[in-house]
Chains A and B, each alone.
Chain A
Amino acid sequence: MPDADHRIYLLAGAALFAIGFYSLLVQAHLLRRIMALNVMGSGVFLFYIALAAQTPGPIPDPVPHAMVLTGILVSVCATGLALALADRVQASTGRVELEEDEDAADPSDATPVASDERKEKPSA
Chain B
Amino acid sequence: MTSAWAIALLILSPLAAAALAFAVPKRGRGLAFGTAVVVGAAIVQLTRAVLAGGVQTHRVGGWGAPLGIDLRADGLALLMLMVTAGIGTAISLYAQGYFRSGHDDDAPHRERYFWPLFLFLWTALNALFLSADIFNLYVTLELLGFAAVTLVALEGQRAALTAAMRYLFVSLSASLFYLLGVGLVYGQCATVDLASLAVKAEPGPTLWVALALMTGGLIAKAALFPMHFWLPPAHANAPAPVSAVLSALVVKGSFYILLRLWFEAFPALMTPGVAQLFGGLGAAAILWGSVQALLQPRLKLLIAYSTVAQIGYLFLLFPLAAEREGGFVGWSGGLVFLGAHACAKTAMFLTAGNILHAAGHDRIKDLDGITQSLPISACAFGLAGLSLVGLPPSGGFAGKWLLLNSALAQGQWWWVAVILIGSLLAAGYVLRVLTHAFTRVAAPTTPNPIPPVMEWTALTLALLAVGLGFASHWVADLLRVGAPVIGPVLMGGAAP
Contacts and interface: CB of A to CB of B under 8 A. Distances in A.
Chains A and B are bound partners: yes
A109 B163 CA distance: 19
A5 interface: no
Contact of B298 (A82, A85, A106, A119): A106
B187 A54 contact: yes
Given A89-B161, A92-B158, A116-B158, A17 B166 contact: no
Interface string A79-115: 0011001101100110000110111111111001001
Interface of A: 14, 17, 21, 24, 30, 33, 37, 40-41, 43-44, 47-48, 51, 54, 63-64, 67, 70-71, 74, 77-78, 81-82, 85-86, 88-89, 92-93, 98-99, 101-109, 112, 115-116, 119
A98 B165 contact: yes
10 contacts: A17-B176, A47-B183, A51-B183, A67-B135, A81-B146, A85-B164, A89-B161, A101-B233, A104-B232, A108-B360
B360 A70 contact: no
Contacts of A92: 156-158, 161
Nearest to A25: B173
Interface residues of B, number: 42
Given A44-B179, A112-B157, A104 B298 contact: yes
Chain A CB within 10 Å, residue with most, of B149, B157, B356: B157
A64 B172 CA distance: 20
Interface in B167-186: 168-169, 172-173, 176, 179-180, 182-183, 186
B356 A107 contact: yes
Given A85-B161, A107-B361, A74 B153 contact: no
Given A33-B169, A89-B165, A104 B233 contact: yes
B300 interface: yes
B172 A104 contact: no
Contacts of B301: 103-104
B55 interface: no
A39 B375 CA distance: 54
Contacts of A81: 146, 149-150, 168
Contacts of A105: 157-159, 237
Interface in B247-278: none
B224 interface: no
A93 B172 contact: no
B162 interface: yes
Nearest to A80: B146
A98 B162 contact: yes
Interface string B179-200: 1101100110000000000000
B173 A93 contact: no
A48 B138 CA distance: 14
Given A70-B139, A104-B237, A104-B300, A40 B157 contact: no
Q: Is the interface of A mostly helix, strand, loop or mixed?
A: helix
B342 interface: no
A21 B176 CA distance: 10
A59 B171 CA distance: 35
A106 B363 CA distance: 8
Contact of A88 (B139, B146, B153, B169): B153
A104 B187 CA distance: 44
Contact of A86 (B157, B165, B300): B165
A93 B186 contact: no
Interface in B231-249: 232-233, 236-237
Given A54-B187, A81-B146, A93-B158, A104 B236 contact: yes
Contacts of B172: 37, 78, 82
A85 B165 contact: yes
Contacts of A70: 135, 139
A88 B161 CA distance: 7
Contacts of A67: 135, 182-183, 186
Given A78-B172, A85-B153, A104-B236, 8 more contacts: A40-B176, A78-B146, A81-B168, A82-B168, A86-B165, A88-B161, A99-B158, A105-B157
Nearest to B158: A92
B159 A104 contact: yes
B67 to A, nearest CB: 8
Given A78-B142, A105-B157, A112-B157, A85 B168 contact: yes
B22 interface: no
B313 to A, nearest CB: 23
Nearest to A99: B162
Chain A CB within 10 Å, residue with most, of B135, B156, B176, B229: B176
